[in-house]
């Protein structure tokens, strides 16, 4: 986060409540044409305000003044993916090919998955 800030390629966005408690935060990284939502977190004990959604909205608004594209960086968690899609995100599938020499390691891989 510090390197991103020092090179003017990132922002740390923080949402707090009226008690000045941090309820959500986001690291937004940028290159020459794309902004990336690298990390988004919230305090589940405090979070009742949808502050994380507000941070996403504000990061999109900020990024639109600086770059051409916004990359949510995706999620395989259905509820998070649904939130990203609600902002107009387009699902992009990334396929993974794996090859195992040892069939026991392959079995272990699929078992642990």
- Give the domains, in start order, of the chain with CATH numbers: 2-112 (3.40.630.30)
> Model-level pTM?
0.71
Each residue's pLDDT expressed in tens, for the chain with a length of 113 residues: 678 878 888 999 999 988 898 999 999 999 999 999 998 888 877 656 788 889 999 999 999 999 999 988 777 666 777 777 778 777 777 777 777 888 888 888 788 86
Closest by CA to 36, choosing from 66, 80, 2, is: 66
Tokens of 103: 């069939």
CA angle (74 as vertex; 58, 94 as ends), nearest 5: 150
Q: Render pLDDT for 12-37 as a digit per residue (tens, 0 to 9).
A: 999 998 889 899 999 999 999 999 99
Sheet strands (E) in the chain: 10-16, 22-30, 34-42, 69-71
Report how far residue 30's alpha carbon sits from residue 28's, in angstroms, rounded to the nearest whole number.
7
User: SS3 for 3?
Assistant: helix
The predicted structure's pLDDT at residue 88: 79
> In the structure encoding, which two tokens stand for residue 16, read together?
């707090």
């Amino acid at each position: 986060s510090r390197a991103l800030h020092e090179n003017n390629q990132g922002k740390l966005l923080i949402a707090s409540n009226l008690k000045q408690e941090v309820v959500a935060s986001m690291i937004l990284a940028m290159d020459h044409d794309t902004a990336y939502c690298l990390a988004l977190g919230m305090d589940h004990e405090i979070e009742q305000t949808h502050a994380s959604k507000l941070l996403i909205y504000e990061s999109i608004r900020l990024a639109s003044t600086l770059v051409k594209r916004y990359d949510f960086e995706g999620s395989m968690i259905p509820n998070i993916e649904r939130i990203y899609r609600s902002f107009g995100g387009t699902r992009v599938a990334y396929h993974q090919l794996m090859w195992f020499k040892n069939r026991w390691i392959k079995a272990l891989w699929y078992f642990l998955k």
